[in-house]
Structure 1
Amino acid sequence: MTADPDRAAPAARRWQAVDSAAGGLALDLGLYTVSAVFAGVTAATSTLASHRAWGTIAAVGYLLAALLVTGQLLNRRRHPATALAGLPARWAVAGFVWATTALLPIVAQSVQRAAGRTDRAQEEVTVVEQAGIRLAEHGTPYLGHDAIAALRPGERLLGYTPYQPGMALFGLPRAAADAWWTDARVWFALVTALVLAAAVATLRGTPTADAPRRDAAALRAVQAATVLPVCALTLATGGDDLPVLALCLLALALAAAGRPGRAGLAVGVAGALKLFAWPVALVLVCWAATRRAGLRTALGALCLPVLALLPALLVDRDALVENVLRFPLGHGLVTSPAQSPFPGHLIAAMLPGGRIVAAALLVAVGLAIAVRLLRRPPRTAAATVLICGYGLLAAILLMPSTRFGYLLYPVALLVSAPALMLAETRARRPVPA
């Protein structure tokens, strides 16, 4: 694995050629067309009712977007200078796609769920909402070992809350009222939208020698975090990963803008929600250390998640350990159903001592990344995001228990690298006053 921008230059040039073809519209058309096919197949074949419901609505949204982009391409050929083929129009289409493939399905499924349809949300939605209710009533989002054991066997999995305490905040509205707008997904989407808007504003606020390319790259990064099917489907049916991803992207945008303290705070909030943000936090601290800001970044990146754990630790230490440590490590009363057919899962399932082999490979990758960080810490936000993206990709592929949806993290992070690199060009090639 490498995250050296110089070595990655040929790949970056190839990506730039594909990304900028026909002013970016060619890749837009391919993205929306392939996504429409994916959504249609999901609607027809998925074994999960909430996924089928998403696909039925999203397929129409993606198809309409593909038609809009086709019209933009035709207009561009006839009138190259027209605004209909420009970047603002592409942003408008992307916003339309997210509204129709993520936000509209969320509202539809939330309304149907409030009306009694129990198959209109994935299990994590219920888990987060129950965690919020417990937080409001008992001061901790977690059930202890004995309380989970007292549940019926079929309910024990939902008794676990394998998230950091901050995730329960998204369930607090459900503690106040039982309505469609208190569905945790509604709040996941709202926070995701606000945080991504802040990330884009941060990138666009950086003075750079190539603002048009930076803004186009920012659009591509937002598309990867919103309208890509793995993200839109996840947000519409489960959603807990999207605020975490958005906060990580905001942290990296702040790093590109030269604000290490704020970057630490943003990734620290993400780490208070879910463990997936912790590797990003560690790499960001290494980046900040090259700028003599390691302590300032670490205060937010590492201390905020620890502080979020303290109330739950004081209220019921055993419950915290049962949910945050024992269950993710496979020592709970039930095991995680996450079993996507990635190499780590296949090794664990098919080879003698496979779980040990998969764990050893995972540790080896972690050690390789640690050595890379110690010997050559990243000096730019672009190098930082490449290490995070490839590192998380390797971890997801090698974990014995994982989900296909987790791929949204490395995909969105890696696609954001060009935007971060272009936002940082001001340091190497200042814009004349």
Structure 2
Amino acid sequence: MARLLTRADQAAGGRILDAALYALSGLFALVTTLSSTLLPHRAWGSVAAWGYLAALLLTPFVHRLLLTWATFAAVSLLPLVIQAVQRAGGRLDRAQEEVSVVEEMGHGLASTGSPYLSRADIAALPAQDQLDAYHPYQPGMAVFGLPRAWFGDFWWTDSRVWFAVVMVGAVAWATRFLLTTGLEVRALQAATIFPVCALTLATGGDDMPVLALCLLSIAFCARHRFGAAGLAVGAAAALKPFAFPVVIVLAVLAFATRPPRNSPDAGRPWRRFLPGAVGLPVLALVPALLVNADAYVENVVRFPLGHGLVSSPAQSPFPGYLIASSVPGGRYVALGLLVLAGLTIAALLLRRPPRTAASAALFCGYGLLTAILLMPTTRFGYLLYPIAFLVWATALSRPTATSAPRRDTALYRQ
């Protein structure tokens, strides 16, 4: 994969691949505008298609890194602001349901100390309101809903705006570690202008700060800054359970790494990594457990596993969903396959632990891709995680990032 991307970047300085990416992304945005059944997606496509077209036309003339950031502003941030302004003005079709869910979490946190409703409280609601009453995120996600809870319905209190603030800050910080790799533009594109990322941030957005913080953590590991890496991935794990596999992989990396003597983490990277990586999710969890532990379990455990009062709408036709929906006892078969895959990856981690940030990113990418394919309830949008991790692994494997030591026995080493 690294050789393929390197050759593509060498073609006209990478601009041929850039042009192909902008053209295909613009086509995706156009098709979304014309055919999507989700109104926020159609509204995104009607703006983003022009942004991708402008980027395609400017590809031969504008610095690639500058054009990437400008395109991100045109195809993600601009549609986000437009939809946030329209929503604040009364349009109810300018956000996906997760936006209001996060904002309800903020209201719950501000008023009761917990962002979750109990099973009994959800059961007492009208049937059509029960789905949105479930909040299947970690307690930290409620922070993004606090601006609307405190200040009211303005465009700048839309939770997507604050998703974008954290996402842009984390990605910009992370790319500082890639500026001399030769693949920094490709890595930035994978986290910003790739359609699944741009669409997600503009219309829903809750996955983007999680992804960005995970990428920042991996980038910190590439520079042997394991204390900062633990804080970054710990913050991500306080937002969504999707970050927990990344915590595990990077913890193994921290135990297996022997950093240079002049590194601030010399001799004890795991001691620097674990307090933030484990402590932040625990600190975020404690208040919710003290208020109502069963409400947390109902929202974050039972509902995603299909044992809530209503079913999750996350039903993309991946193998796990197809098995769960078409085979007798299929949900348990899919969960069994998911557990088996998890145990296999865990065995690989123990037998051949990653010793570089690049190999850790590959473990995260392939592991999450396997999980997404086998989960009984999942979304196409979740693919943004493995795509970004795999591209960043390629960038981090360059000699100017973190070179693989001779004793690196990781299975997925570059």
Same fold (TM over 0.5): yes
Equivalent residues of 1:203, 1:256 under 8 A apart: no
Residue in structure 1 matching 2:275, options 292, 296, 299: 299
Residue in structure 2 matching 1:350, options 296, 304, 326: 326
1:48 maps to 38
Secondary structure at 2:306 match in 1: coil
Equivalent residues of 2:358, 2:402 under 8 A apart: no
2:171 alignment partner AA = L
Residue 245 in structure 1 maps to residue 229 in structure 2: no
2:277 alignment partner AA = A
Residue 167 in structure 1 maps to residue 141 in structure 2: yes
What stretches of structure 1 of length at least 5 have no aligned partner?
1-10, 73-83, 205-210
- In the TM superposition, residue 276 of structure 1 has moved relative to its aligned partner by 0.5
What stretches of structure 2 of length at least 5 have no aligned partner?
258-267, 407-414
Equivalent residues of 1:50, 1:122 under 8 A apart: yes
State how 1:175-190 maps to structure 2 within 5 Å. Answer: 175-176=149-150, 177-190=152-165
1:136 maps to 110
Q: Deviations along 1:197-235, whole A, 9 cap, x unmatched?
A: 11112444xxxxxx3xx1x31221111011000000000
Q: How many pairs were matched up? A: 394
1:424 alignment partner AA = A
2:345 maps to 369
2:196 alignment partner AA = V
State how 1:78-89 maps to structure 2 within 5 Å. Answer: 84=62, 89=63
RMSD: 1.4
Equivalent residues of 1:36, 1:62 under 8 A apart: yes
1:194 maps to 169
Equivalent residues of 1:203, 1:257 under 8 A apart: no
Cα distance in structure 1, aligned partners of 2:384 and 2:27: 19
State how 1:307-322 maps to structure 2 within 5 Å. Answer: 307-322=283-298
1:24 maps to 14
Q: Deviations along 1:307-357, whole A, 9 cap, x unmatched?
A: 210011111222112112221221111110100011111111122222222
Residue in structure 2 matching 1:234, options 179, 196, 200: 200
State the percentage of identical aligned residues.
Answer: 61
1:263 maps to 229
Equivalent residues of 2:160, 2:204 under 8 A apart: yes
Cα distance in structure 2, aligned partners of 1:186 and 1:306: 26
Cα distance in structure 2, aligned partners of 1:285 and 1:427: 18
Cα distance in structure 2, aligned partners of 1:425 and 1:232: 29
Cα distance in structure 2, aligned partners of 1:114 and 1:385: 39
Cα distance in structure 2, aligned partners of 1:404 and 1:418: 23
Cα distance in structure 1, aligned partners of 2:70 and 2:174: 19
Residue 424 in structure 1 maps to residue 390 in structure 2: no
Runs of 4+ in 1 over 4 A off after TM superposition: 425-429
Cα distance in structure 2, aligned partners of 1:326 and 1:425: 40
1:300 alignment partner AA = G
Cα distance in structure 2, aligned partners of 1:168 and 1:146: 21
1:146 maps to 120
Secondary structure at 1:163 match in 2: coil
Cα distance in structure 2, aligned partners of 1:297 and 1:35: 37
- In the TM superposition, residue 270 of structure 1 has moved relative to its aligned partner by 0.2
Cα distance in structure 1, aligned partners of 2:405 and 2:305: 45
